[in-house]
Amino acid sequence: MITSTCGKVPVGSTTETTLATYRLFGISFCVVPKEVVANDIRLRARDNVPSSVILANAHVIVEAQKDPQLKNAIANASLVIADGMPVTWVLRGKGQRFVERYPGSDLMEDILRLESSAAHYLMGSTPDILGRISGKFKGSVIGSYSPPFTNNGFTEQEKCRQLELIEKSRPDFIWVGLGAPKQEAYVTEMASRSSRGVWLGVGAAFDFHAGIRRRAPQFLQEAGLEWAFRLISEPQRLGPRYLATNPVFIKLACQELLRRQSNGAVGHDRKA
């Protein structure tokens, strides 16, 4: 296994978190067990320096291939985690046998359980959903903000307002549920402008923890069929996305796996 710095530990950090990464689809993924990932995120928060965490699934990867700004935002994140079995399968096919799927809802649950005494802030979604999550994790969530809806991104004035509210609360973890791919660029930018805290883009995790939507049964998750369960649950919203995204991801995955087969080496950290 190739060991390198997983993302960018912010300047001034006193914690040397060196994790294994593998470059796939032009993105450097952490390829260690999820317990190690969770521990690294906890250390970043205790280090009192800003960091950004992106969970990249097939949809995010496909969007990044056609959007240079999004791809750059992901490249500048402190940590990129494989979200979903399809991405995990490709990484394992490239020889990264320790990598584990780590969905945002699982990561959020684990960190809030392990760091229940830390300060957590919720950013995104609706006041009702934010209230439900705060009620579920009583005593851990110190604040929340439901931003105005926009298709074109937040204005600079709105970003400054958000940053001011969050900085006043001094959270250790800022959970962002704006939906992909909007939240990926957002967490990277806001972490670079903040003084502390780990910013994590977890998307649908807000709806799951609020009890608004059900997650797929565990056996479907492990079989890589969570997308099918969600499609059946939300066909009008997710149908067009999956129709546009899944074939492209399959093509990208096949190209990566065939490249490994032709080159032979397993576990080689090859720059794309």
pTM: predicted TM-score of the whole model, two decimal places: 0.87
Q: Cα dist. 62→57, 231, 251 in Å?
A: 9, 18, 10
pLDDT in tens, 78-113: 999 999 899 999 999 999 999 999 999 999 999 999
- Sequence ranges of the domains in the chain: 21-263
Buried b / exposed e over 240-257, threshold 16 CB at 10 Å, is: ebbeebbebbeebbeebe
**Mean pLDDT value across the chain:** 88
Average pLDDT over residues 13-41: 84
pLDDT tens-digit series, residues 150-167: 878 899 999 999 999 999
* Predicted local distance difference test score (pLDDT) of residue 260: 59
- Whether the CB-CB separation of 90 and 42 falls below 8 Å is answered with no
* pLDDT score recorded for residue 227: 86
pLDDT at residue 4 greater than cutoff 70 = no
User: In the 8-state DSSP scheme, what is residue 180?
Assistant: T
Question: Taking residues 36-61, what's their average pLDDT?
Answer: 95
Highest mean pLDDT among 12-16, 132-136, 216-220: 132-136
pLDDT at 151: 79
CA distance 227 to 249: 13
Residue 174 near residue 197 (C-beta atoms within 8 A): yes
